[in-house]
Chains A and B, each alone.
Chain A
Amino acid sequence: MADPGYTTGGYNEAETSEESLLLSCLKRIEANPAGAYAVHMYLSKLKASNRQPHFIGIAARTFDSLIESFEATVFSIHNSDLILVCRNVPVDDADAAVDKMRALFGEDPLLATEDEAFEDSFSNWYDLSQPEDYSTFVGIANDLAVEAQRRKQQGAQDKVNEDREKGEPLGALNLAAINQKLQGTRVADLIREQTCLQIGPNGPRSILFREHFVSMVELKKRIAPEVNLFASPWLFQYLTETLDKRMLAVLANRDIGGMASPVSLNLNVNTILSRDFQNFHKAIGKSASRVVVEMQVLDIFADMNTYCYARDSLQERGYRVLVDGLSPLALQFFDPGLLQSDFVKIAWGPEFEGDTDSTRLAEMREVVASTGKDSVILARIDTEEAVKWGLAMGISRFQGFFIDDIMKKLAGVQAEKARAKSKSRPKPQAQPAAPAPPVEQPAPAQPAAQPAPVPTQPQPAPVPVQPAQQPVPAPAQPQPKPAPKV
């Protein structure tokens, strides 16, 4: 995309990678360095959610007019960085173009720093006619090329991450058939569970509830292996309405009152006012207080009137209501306490980790306090750091991969105890040998259980806003919480 002159070339990937194009461009400059300079823009330092490929594409296009009027080229580096190489271009023009591109990311913490300090954190200029600058910059370009090569070899592994989005996009044409199939497909065996745990300063306390959800990856395999169900957020939402019905039917037959901990499930607002929910209520009404109903903020905003009614009618009947689908970003834009639910669930994302901006942290703490710290749940927890961070914010309820691990360990310890006890008993054969998966393991919906996220991944962000209906391509990272829209 960078330089139209090059993109028409052959298809030999290694030769036409942006990095190698940059290197050969630099070689030409070495022969004739007069008037040449480069600007390296560190888009790789932006928040993951701002590094989505189509964002970077648009950012690169900001330089179109510069390229048309002058001798200038933009290179899109694999890690999202952009490199602008110019010859005899007025610095003011190049600077204006860089500024324009920078303005696209106005909300990013990287740009929140003061303008003075900014120059260093976001971009760097190299006067290529000076041998010293030239060799520094060639060094950088070489490193980038090596890294790009290494990444290409890794590519096979990244493919796995893309599995979820593989296939033709879900569209009106294939939707009818898929919806039909969903209505007749067995889903009970695809229901997974994930624990929401209360954690105090001294460790785990009690289970708040166990979220029941349909593994979307498994479901996709079963009903539409060749279709990317997440291509349209709206059509995906449509499918979830059908899924709701199936889920309610299955759960109505399970003994919710007899389960060890309360249950939560994700539903559309419309579903709550439907006959399917009435039937569910008839079946489990006595255990209503043990059921938490989760609704997506997108669905809520689409029709607040209906949400308010659904919320009140649920609360009156003893259910508890949870607002799902919030990202830390969303908290900057509205106060979830105003939705008057019993709980709000915020998806933890890697952007929290590095965020040391004290104002934003204070804001966050304030949101937690004003929403009621007992109401806030931090989801998608995949590291201990995330828990620590949450505790520091005043949050004590957590859900995610890391919590699943804790639960597994706890169960393991208990099983160990039980075994020890049974061994001390005289009749050892009473104990079945199988250590047995302790609790029903909330197997996440992610395909081929891959290890921790590849941190260097340049790709898109795990767009935290709407876990279920991501409109953007593959989050590079296995989502801690599998497409949770039940």
Chain B
Amino acid sequence: MAISSEKKLPSQENLLLEYMRRLEKHKEDRKVVHLHLSLLRPMNRREQHIRTATGNFENIVKSMDGQVFTVKNSDIFVMYKKTIHPHVETAVQQIRYLFDDDPLIVEEEHSDKKFASWYDAEQDFDSVLQTVQGMAHAEQKRQIEVRGRMDARAALKARQEQGEPLTPRVLARIETALSKADLSNLVRRQFICRVDSNMVPEQIFSELFISIKDLRETMIPDVNLVANRWLFQHLTTTLDQRMLSMLTKTDGISISGDISFNVNVATLLNPEFQSFDDNIAAGRRGAMIIELQKEDIFCDLASYLFARDFVQEKGYRVCLDSLTVQTIDIIDRERLGADIAKLIWHTDLVDGGDELHKKIRKIVKRGGPDRLILCRCDNREAIDFGHSVGIDLFQGRYVENLIVEDGRRRELLKLKRRIERSEADAYLDEE
């Protein structure tokens, strides 16, 4: 028997998967209901609530007419014989009453979020299986990912691979060194491209950044600069100033075309930015995009809003940087008044399900195709995903490869034409 009242048993998802496999052989005359308790407010899905909810199916389980599974995120799956469908409906209705003050239930009619999804085991077998597999998979992955960062073993491994974590003492040393060093050879450039369905890239603008990896290798090879988020973030304020002074000296680095660069909000309100701005040709401002991190924005919203108005008024554009699969539907570029936003590519975007895809599509549609960039694209999957939700603009290693390839193709084409021409010339000569 797969039923278990112990919600925390780690193998619930696996038991459910196994049951699905067995069900495959006799799926006719069966139905499945998926109760999305995970969408309830946290205070409504405490253990006692889940227990009460599952209790409603007790009779069905006892009479061997169905099975109940409670997965990790509190969702409940009931697989049952078609003959008892009315009983199940009643049970689900009773559970619904339990939560009738929860927004999920209150707003169900006007929302695409539903409390229950009903399936026919035979017809919908694949989609049920997919849902269950997705859940088991996602949970597993998330745990590995987060735990992987935190536990001692992982810390040890990171230390071996990436060096000692950055400490305040080392940070002070780096800052002193940075104030004198010439960083222009550490500046990298990555293009933001429109990529069409034939994978042909068209360059829109480029991001200039100081390569942290190379910085580390030149200055302090044994130290992991990003080990502590806050120390690193502080280091970026120093890098901001170096970047601005390099951008001011036009001979330092070539800054042809539209460019973007990352700074802290506080930097925009500093004298360094003022003098950068004073030294830049007025016409250049329209070709510059200022990238800001979301956590920096929310660290001091009032300063952000002021800085945004300040730079936009001067003609710069503002880019909301590093949205993720978890924040894309929480942090709204439009409401923040940024011109562009960047979404970090991750396979979770694909696994996120229809609802997430719909949301992203809506965001792209509302803002227009030039407002959302999928960045850190490492492979073709990223581009394909982007296209599937309407994203046109991409950035990342894979895009850089596409540019190289495209360049090569053009070279070949040129060569071919030249050969053709010289052949033709030769032909004419012979004539």
Which residues of A approach B to under 8 Å, CB–CB?
47, 49-50, 52, 54-55, 58, 61, 100, 103-107, 171-173, 175-176, 179, 232-235, 237-238, 241, 270, 273-274, 297-299, 301-306, 308-309, 315-316, 321, 327, 329-330, 332-335, 338-342, 370, 372, 374-375, 461, 463-466, 469-472
* B174 neighbours in A (Cβ, 8 Å): 172
Give the Cβ gap from B205 to chain A, nearest Cβ, in Å.
Answer: 24
Query: Once the chains bind, are A301 and B294 in contact (CB under 8 Å)?
Result: yes
Query: Once the chains bind, are A274 and B310 in contact (CB under 8 Å)?
Result: no
Tell me the nearest residue of chain B to A101, going by C-beta: B313
Query: Once the chains bind, are B301 and A104 in contact (CB under 8 Å)?
Result: no
Q: Which of B228, B269, B298, B329 contacts A58 (CB 8 A)?
A: B269
Give the Cβ gap from B297 to chain A, nearest Cβ, in Å.
Answer: 8
Most B CB contacts (10 A, CB to CB) among A304, A335, A461 go to A304
Query: Once the chains bind, are A303 and B229 in contact (CB under 8 Å)?
Result: yes
Most A CB contacts (10 A, CB to CB) among B103, B146, B269, B306 go to B306
Enumerate B264-281 residues with CB–CB distance to A below 8 Å: 266, 269, 274
Of B121-129, B164-172, B375-383, B417-425, the one contacting chain A is B164-172
Tell me the nearest residue of chain A to B336, going by C-beta: A333
* B234 neighbours in A (Cβ, 8 Å): 172, 232, 234-235, 238
* A238 neighbours in B (Cβ, 8 Å): 168, 228, 230-231, 234
Query: Once the chains bind, are B301 and A330 in contact (CB under 8 Å)?
Result: yes
Query: Once the chains bind, are B301 and A333 in contact (CB under 8 Å)?
Result: yes
Give the Cβ gap from A300 to chain B, nearest Cβ, in Å.
Answer: 8
Q: Answer whether A305 and B301 are a contact pair too, CB < 8 Å, given A234-B230, A321-B42.
A: no
Query: Once the chains bind, are A333 and B335 in contact (CB under 8 Å)?
Result: yes
* B298 neighbours in A (Cβ, 8 Å): 297-298, 301, 330, 333, 465
B249 at the binding interface (Cβ < 8 Å): no
Can you show 16 pairs from A to B with CB atoms below 8 A apart? A58-B306, A172-B231, A172-B234, A175-B172, A176-B167, A176-B168, A273-B150, A301-B294, A327-B301, A327-B302, A329-B301, A333-B298, A333-B335, A338-B329, A342-B42, A470-B300
Query: Once the chains bind, are A274 and B150 in contact (CB under 8 Å)?
Result: yes
Which residues of B approach A to under 8 Å, CB–CB?
8, 41-43, 46, 103, 142-143, 145-146, 149-150, 167-169, 171-172, 174-175, 228-231, 233-234, 237, 266, 269, 274, 294-295, 298-303, 305-306, 309-310, 313, 324, 326-327, 329-332, 335-336
Known: A297-B298, A309-B146. 16 other contacts (CB 8 A): A58-B269, A103-B313, A172-B175, A179-B168, A237-B230, A238-B228, A301-B298, A301-B331, A305-B146, A306-B146, A333-B301, A334-B330, A335-B330, A465-B299, A465-B300, A472-B300
Q: Which of B41, B175, B306, B336 contacts A340 (CB 8 A)?
A: B41
Tell me the nearest residue of chain B to A58, going by C-beta: B310
In the complex, A330→B143 CA distance in Å?
Answer: 30
In the complex, A321→B41 CA distance in Å?
Answer: 12
Query: Once the chains bind, are A334 and B331 in contact (CB under 8 Å)?
Result: yes
In the complex, A375→B294 CA distance in Å?
Answer: 25
In the complex, A340→B43 CA distance in Å?
Answer: 9
Give the Cβ gap from A427 to chain B, nearest Cβ, in Å.
Answer: 48
Give the Cβ gap from B354 to chain A, nearest Cβ, in Å.
Answer: 18
Query: Once the chains bind, are B172 and A334 in contact (CB under 8 Å)?
Result: no
Give the Cβ gap from A302 to chain B, nearest Cβ, in Å.
Answer: 4
Tell me the nearest residue of chain A to B39, going by C-beta: A340
Tell me the nearest residue of chain B to A273, going by C-beta: B150
* A302 neighbours in B (Cβ, 8 Å): 229, 295
Q: Tell me what chain B mostly uses at the interface: helix, strand, loop, or mixed.
A: helix
Give the Cβ gap from A123 to chain B, nearest Cβ, in Å.
Answer: 17
In the complex, A131→B379 CA distance in Å?
Answer: 74
Most B CB contacts (10 A, CB to CB) among A47, A61, A233, A461 go to A233
Tell me the nearest residue of chain B to A372, going by C-beta: B41
Q: Which of B103, B237, B324 contacts A232 (CB 8 A)?
A: B237
Query: Once the chains bind, are B300 and A305 in contact (CB under 8 Å)?
Result: no
In the complex, A335→B331 CA distance in Å?
Answer: 9
Q: Answer whether A466 and B175 are a contact pair too, CB < 8 Å, given A238-B231, A315-B42.
A: no
In the complex, A237→B309 CA distance in Å?
Answer: 27
* B228 neighbours in A (Cβ, 8 Å): 238
Give the Cβ gap from A39 to chain B, nearest Cβ, in Å.
Answer: 18
Query: Once the chains bind, are A305 and B145 in contact (CB under 8 Å)?
Result: yes
Tell me the nearest residue of chain B to A301, going by C-beta: B295
Query: Once the chains bind, are B309 and A465 in contact (CB under 8 Å)?
Result: no
In the complex, A103→B146 CA distance in Å?
Answer: 44
In the complex, A338→B39 CA distance in Å?
Answer: 10
* A334 neighbours in B (Cβ, 8 Å): 330-332, 335
Query: Once the chains bind, are B299 and A233 in contact (CB under 8 Å)?
Result: yes
* B142 neighbours in A (Cβ, 8 Å): 305, 308-309
* B330 neighbours in A (Cβ, 8 Å): 304, 334-335, 338-339
* B145 neighbours in A (Cβ, 8 Å): 305
Query: Once the chains bind, are B146 and A375 in contact (CB under 8 Å)?
Result: no
- Give the 8 A-B residue pairs with the shortest CB-CB distance, closest first: A304-B326, A49-B302, A172-B172, A175-B168, A176-B168, A238-B230, A302-B295, A172-B171
Tell me the nearest residue of chain A to B274, going by C-beta: A61
Query: Once the chains bind, are A176 and B172 in contact (CB under 8 Å)?
Result: yes
Most A CB contacts (10 A, CB to CB) among B42, B142, B331 go to B42
In the complex, A58→B301 CA distance in Å?
Answer: 17
Give the Cβ gap from B267 to chain A, nearest Cβ, in Å.
Answer: 11
* B42 neighbours in A (Cβ, 8 Å): 315, 321, 340-342
* B301 neighbours in A (Cβ, 8 Å): 327, 329-330, 333, 465
* A330 neighbours in B (Cβ, 8 Å): 298, 301
Q: Answer whether A171 and B43 are a contact pair too, CB < 8 Å, given A50-B306, A305-B145, A338-B329.
A: no
Query: Once the chains bind, are B310 and A107 in contact (CB under 8 Å)?
Result: no
Give the Cβ gap from A349 to chain B, nearest Cβ, in Å.
Answer: 10
Query: Once the chains bind, are B168 and A461 in contact (CB under 8 Å)?
Result: no
Tell me the nearest residue of chain B to A107, going by C-beta: B305
Give the Cβ gap from B225 to chain A, nearest Cβ, in Å.
Answer: 13
Tell me the nearest residue of chain B to A326, going by C-beta: B298
Query: Once the chains bind, are A233 and B300 in contact (CB under 8 Å)?
Result: yes
Q: Answer whether A301 and B327 are a contact pair too, CB < 8 Å, given A175-B171, A238-B228, A238-B230.
A: yes
Give the Cβ gap from B180 to chain A, nearest Cβ, in Å.
Answer: 15
Give the Cβ gap from B270 to chain A, nearest Cβ, in Å.
Answer: 8
* A176 neighbours in B (Cβ, 8 Å): 167-169, 172
Give the Cβ gap from B263 to chain A, nearest Cβ, in Å.
Answer: 14
In the complex, A95→B309 CA distance in Å?
Answer: 18
Query: Once the chains bind, are A100 and B324 in contact (CB under 8 Å)?
Result: no
Tell me the nearest residue of chain A to B273, going by C-beta: A58
* A465 neighbours in B (Cβ, 8 Å): 298-302
In the complex, A341→B41 CA distance in Å?
Answer: 8
Q: Answer whether A104 and B172 are a contact pair too, CB < 8 Å, given A327-B301, A466-B299.
A: no
Query: Once the chains bind, are A304 and B327 in contact (CB under 8 Å)?
Result: yes
Give the Cβ gap from B321 to chain A, nearest Cβ, in Å.
Answer: 12
Query: Once the chains bind, are B172 and A171 in contact (CB under 8 Å)?
Result: yes
Give the Cβ gap from A267 to chain B, nearest Cβ, in Å.
Answer: 14
* A100 neighbours in B (Cβ, 8 Å): 313
Query: Once the chains bind, are A104 and B303 in contact (CB under 8 Å)?
Result: no
Query: Once the chains bind, are B302 and A461 in contact (CB under 8 Å)?
Result: yes
In the complex, A171→B237 CA distance in Å?
Answer: 11
Tell me the nearest residue of chain B to A61, going by C-beta: B274
Give the Cβ gap from A319 to chain B, nearest Cβ, in Å.
Answer: 11
Q: Answer whether A332 and B335 are a contact pair too, CB < 8 Å, given A50-B302, A340-B42.
A: yes
Query: Once the chains bind, are A305 and B324 in contact (CB under 8 Å)?
Result: yes
* B300 neighbours in A (Cβ, 8 Å): 233, 463, 465-466, 470-472
Q: Which of A58, A305, A327 contacts B326 (CB 8 A)?
A: A305
Query: Once the chains bind, are A173 and B294 in contact (CB under 8 Å)?
Result: no
Give the Cβ gap from B145 to chain A, nearest Cβ, in Å.
Answer: 7
